Structure 1
Amino acid sequence: MLDGVELVLASAVRLSVPLVFAALGEWVAERAGALNISVEGMMLGGAFAAVTGASVTGSPGLGLLFGVAAGLLVAFVHACFSHRLTVNTYVVGLTLNVLVLGLTSFLATRSEPHQVGKQAIPVLSDIPLIGGALFDQRLPAYALVVLVPFAWWLVHRSRWGLEARAAGENPRSADVTGIDVNKRRRQAMLICGVLAGLGGAHLAVGEVGLFNQNMTAGRGYLVIAAVIFGGWTLRGTLAGCLVFGAADAMRLALPALGYQLNPQLLVAAPYLLALVAMTFFASGHRGPAALGVPFVRGVP
């Protein structure tokens, strides 16, 4: 029984890591008022670019940088359309998601496996039950030890974060004080692109080692749900990622443990859970007041 719990916990943490990378960026973006629907495209583009980059250079580490660049490119396009040209951000996000899905499916080719190595932390990885799950991970996962507190500091303790939160709560007042609202939103979107691209790259060259068509399979939408689940707080967002990662882990772990359940139900479980979470938590928490609301200077 203990081995089964360890297996589920290890799978949950492993599957949560790509979600956490992307969710950090989505949380920053939404606190600035930029609802980033294209996070799915950022993750998928990052996954494709990471495998392509690793195949070209022969280095999974460099592949991660290619993935970050792809996520940043999608974010740049979304930010320009939504916060320079004030095109409907929902339309732009969904269009980019479909575009990236089509491009990566068309360009996908068979490639040699490329995977970032694992590194167990001495002593800590030997802790019963949680040691292997938390301290025997692929190398990029350990970057979260720095990125999580940095994201909190950036949003809650830096001047940039104060201005970004003002842009998300009351852009009119922020504009009066001299804050460039759309610039802060674009910057927040670019941060999301970097982190979502890294999340997709980690999924591809960290966990799988290959690129498969539509391999993110809606994880970007789970990321958005995790931010809502967490009530737009960082700790709540992280908890949401772990919950959705655990639901996804059940799909892999339960059959391995000998439990025979409907496979279609197991595949749908994370998305059903996301739907339930959004139903209950979206109404119980208040997001940024101007989330998803375009800002045009001089227009009431």
Structure 2
Amino acid sequence: MSLAGDIETVLSSGVRLAAPLAFAACGEYLAERAGTLNISVEAMMLGAAFGAVAVAGLTGSGIAGLLAGVLIGALIGLVHGVLAHGLAVNTFVVGLVLNALVLGLTSYLIATAAPLSRPPERWPLYSLLAIVPLTWWLVGRSRWGLELRAAGENPQAAAMTGIRVNLRRRQALLWCGALSGLGGAYLAVGEVGSFNQNMTAGRGYLVIAAVIFGGWRLARTLVGCALFGLADALRLALPALGVTLNSQLLISAPYLLALLAMLLFASRHNQPQALGRPFPRGGA
């Protein structure tokens, strides 16, 4: 294959690998603008990946699998929202526990159930082209998005105007869960066609890194997703191109790039002022 063909293959793979990150990043971006640093993206993507392959295998429909992934992701978002913003449990603890719980549960199920596999279904990314402007409009132009941003910037002032801060944050987590679930389901059903133990392999954390790298701006967040997807594609392509590097270094390359990108380019001054700060339950 020519050099041009190799580059085209890497770029094409990069786009496909960036798509699951981009779906989830749209949700995480919205959640963080509402003031919630959602650590449970990994759980949302992983649980949705398992459920999507299971449902697609049972029904023979990849679309049914995608819908199942969306529902599972939203359910995890609902649990996170109720615990963190309904019962005032520390949101970081909730996220870490959900990540560990879903990893353990899916590992158990994959070990005790029949192998989950089906031919991957390659879909055009039209849904991503719809979700990106929809997310932009929701955050930047809708009244609901204005209230979300108020909850993330100054929740005390928002509550004084009648905004139910914790309710808006729970709703943001539902949206994040649904889109993260779509990302996990797309990865499992649309790209791989099977479920493997811990198959998301930290992609949820890459999503969080992309939002921080993007300075809490949607367009720059998607650039971060594309960058991380391209790094992952390059990791997979190098051995096929005859480039021999340490396998562990190749595996860690996208995460090292994410760390480097945040250190060099993250724009902290755009961070929502109340990001990660709990709001009293009395604020609803």
TM-score category of the 2 structures, normalised to the smaller one: over 0.9
**Secondary structure at the counterpart of residue 270 of structure 2:** coil
Paired with 2:72 and 2:15, the residues of 1 have a C-alpha distance of 25
- Listed one character per residue, the Cα deviations across residues 235-257 of structure 1 (whole Å, up to 9, x for unaligned) are 01000000111111111111112
The 5-angstrom pairing of residues 109-258 of structure 1 reads 109-111=113-115, 113-115=117-119, 117-118=121-122, 138-139=123-124, 141-258=125-242
CA contact (8 A) 2:51 2:68 kept: yes
The alpha-carbon deviation at position 112 of structure 1 amounts to 5.6
Residue type matched to 1:198 in 2? L
- Listed one character per residue, the Cα deviations across residues 212-237 of structure 1 (whole Å, up to 9, x for unaligned) are 00000000000000000000000010
The gaps in structure 2 that reach 5 residues or longer are none
Query: Hey, which bits of structure 1, 4+ residues long, moved more than 4 A?
Result: none
The alpha-carbon deviation at position 20 of structure 1 amounts to 0.3
105-114 or 285-294: bigger deviation: 105-114
Residue type matched to 2:5 in 1? D
Cα RMSD (Å) of the superposition?
1.4
Say if 1:275 and 1:210 are closer, same or farther in 2 by CA, change over 3 A: same
Match of 1:88 in 2: 90
Residue type matched to 2:64 in 1? L
Match of 1:68 in 2: 70
Paired with 1:284 and 1:31, the residues of 2 have a C-alpha distance of 13
The alpha-carbon deviation at position 116 of structure 1 amounts to 5.1
Paired with 2:98 and 2:176, the residues of 1 have a C-alpha distance of 15
Match of 1:125 in 2: none
- Listed one character per residue, the Cα deviations across residues 90-110 of structure 1 (whole Å, up to 9, x for unaligned) are 000000000000000001133
Please say if 1:16 is aligned against 2:28: no
Larger helix share, 1 or 2: 2
**Secondary structure at the counterpart of residue 36 of structure 2:** coil
Residue type matched to 2:15 in 1? V
CA contact (8 A) 1:55 1:111 kept: no
The alpha-carbon deviation at position 298 of structure 1 amounts to 6.3
160-169 or 66-75: bigger deviation: 66-75
CA contact (8 A) 1:59 1:114 kept: no
Please say if 1:5 is aligned against 2:7: yes
CA contact (8 A) 2:116 2:195 kept: no
289-298 or 278-287: bigger deviation: 278-287
TM-score (ref. length: structure 2) = 0.95
TM-score (ref. length: structure 1) = 0.90
The alpha-carbon deviation at position 297 of structure 1 amounts to 5.6
Paired with 2:117 and 2:208, the residues of 1 have a C-alpha distance of 30
Residue type matched to 1:269 in 2? A
